[in-house]
Chains A and B, each alone.
Chain A
């Protein structure tokens, strides 16, 4: 059966040209730190990729460090808060507050809990019903004691685009550093770190048709820094460990292709998103959209269906060849539904019945039509047997 992939926020397939770039590099085995010919060949691949990643966000190449993932980049930034080393110029851990939003990726949320256990004060700022971080609350939370503020650029579940400029201004006005997890934004929205004036910014390769297992962290020149992984001079002494040469080479090519394709694709996906949204709205009643094109990423549509459990819906769609995600507790492997939707104060049954469709390069009008063909029947089937829809409650 032909698979229709509507889960691009989870990960993306390799761009054919990225695949080509990786295959081309397969024989480059040298250690990029070695001085001989084979080492230098690997070094060139990495530094070329670094230039490309830097160019996409208007950074200098030496402001880009490669990591093993977006999660590692985020962990690295948060670990700086508790460092009181002389070279870092930060407050001592007891005095330094960390301020984050409540809808961050688990790699920020969980790490913040760990820091809390080690004595860091963590303040968490919530979102409104649209899923946008409340800037008034952020202003209240940030003080002269704050060392770092971290607010994501685009939420992975709803696609809500956060007012990062405002959040950053609040952080900087109190002398705090500012980090944004831009994993869902880079390569989808135009981004200029100079204009934005951000201190740290996280990128991941596999969300933009690059390989898995490689990410990058932008660290503005002169910003205090402390390594998460120590014991090597790689990445300008910021991240020990022999570089993932092949992954980084693929990453570089992916980023380059994004620069070429991003704009036209955004326009195309915005149209498809409208088509999908309007189609669902006209075909299925008692639904609730958790994303809105007015303030959400063009490629993401999150919608809840009253009376329908998300994991069942996901697996019925999967059976029809359509691949999506859900915020349902059962699909998460834990008993907790999506923390993002809960934070938005969505009625709890809507949280368990949410569907996230995220589109990308491969998504076509025909695929959207197909989803609109099969979805109403599946929702109807599940609602007919639902304890919380129609009939007896």
Chain B
């Protein structure tokens, strides 16, 4: 076992985070996305500079009130996205970031998605402010279970909190426990987020 809680790469990115938006720095950006909430203990803002012709990210900055996992994974992410198109960037999964980072303990993954989420917000922000509303991916507020008002975001949150199968998902969110019509949709989203954040399938 390494003496550090995390891998050497995590340590490096935590100690020397790349592409930080310092509070005293001037950085001209085309889009900004914010996620998290100080009340929940972490917050992240992502800033993007984008080539309007090619829709390629030419530069980026970020800042956070967040823990070591959030800092290290966002630092790695900020290096990965330079030179990437907005669409490709949108499809970077947490598993990709973890691979680049050399892994994180499972209970730290929910901190590490902070940067990824702020980045998605920034991309959406760019689409909205540049007349491309049709490209916005709004996964947040979409209601999956109408009977019990369970959103897609709640399903994602449940996965990050340790839900690994449909039964556990129902226990935590009550999704599909009334009319049951949404089961297929809910199962599909469960599979999607398990793969996106942990690179795994349902575990029964």
Contacts and interface: CB of A to CB of B under 8 A. Distances in A.
Interface of A: 307-309, 311-312, 315-316, 319, 328-331, 333, 335, 337, 348-349, 352, 383-392
B118 to A, nearest CB: 10
Given A328-B41, A333-B107, A349-B38, A388 B23 contact: no
Given A330-B111, A384-B24, A309 B40 contact: no
A388 B68 CA distance: 17
A335 B202 CA distance: 24
A315 B39 contact: no
B17 interface: yes
Given A315-B14, A349-B38, A385-B21, 19 more contacts: A308-B65, A311-B67, A315-B5, A328-B41, A329-B40, A330-B70, A333-B107, A349-B65, A352-B41, A385-B63, A386-B23, A386-B65, A387-B38, A387-B45, A387-B63, A387-B64, A389-B65, A392-B23, A392-B45
A231 to B, nearest CB: 35
Residue with the highest number of chain A CB atoms closer than 10 Å, among B21, B38, B43, B65: B65
B80 interface: no
Contacts of B69: 330
Given A315-B14, A385-B17, A386-B23, A329 B41 contact: yes
A385 B67 contact: no
A311 B68 contact: yes
Nearest to A382: B65
B44 interface: yes
A348 B38 contact: yes
A315 B43 contact: no
Contact of B66 (A312, A316, A319, A337): A312
A390 B63 CA distance: 12
B117 to A, nearest CB: 13
A387 B23 CA distance: 8
B20 A331 contact: no
Nearest to B64: A387
Nearest to B108: A330
Interface string B44-66: 11000000000000000001111
B42 interface: yes
Nearest to A331: B67
Given A315-B14, A330-B111, A384-B24, A307 B65 contact: yes
Interface residues of B, number: 31
A384 B65 contact: no
Contact of B41 (A307, A337, A391, A392): A337
B71 interface: yes
A326 to B, nearest CB: 10
The 8 closest A-B pairs by CB, nearest first: A391-B23, A330-B67, A329-B41, A311-B67, A390-B23, A352-B41, A387-B43, A385-B20
Contact of A352 (B22, B38, B63): B38
Given A384-B24, A385-B20, A388-B38, A312 B43 contact: no
Contacts of B67: 309, 311-312, 328, 330-331
Contacts of A386: 23, 63-65
Contacts of B17: 385
B136 interface: no
Given A337-B41, A387-B44, A388-B38, A309 B23 contact: no
Nearest to B39: A348
Given A349-B65, A385-B64, A387-B65, A312 B41 contact: no
Contact of B23 (A308, A311, A333, A383): A383
29 contacts: A307-B65, A309-B42, A309-B64, A309-B65, A311-B68, A312-B68, A312-B71, A315-B14, A328-B67, A330-B41, A335-B40, A348-B39, A352-B38, A352-B42, A352-B65, A383-B23, A384-B20, A384-B23, A385-B20, A385-B21, A386-B23, A387-B38, A387-B45, A387-B64, A388-B43, A389-B65, A390-B23, A391-B23, A391-B63
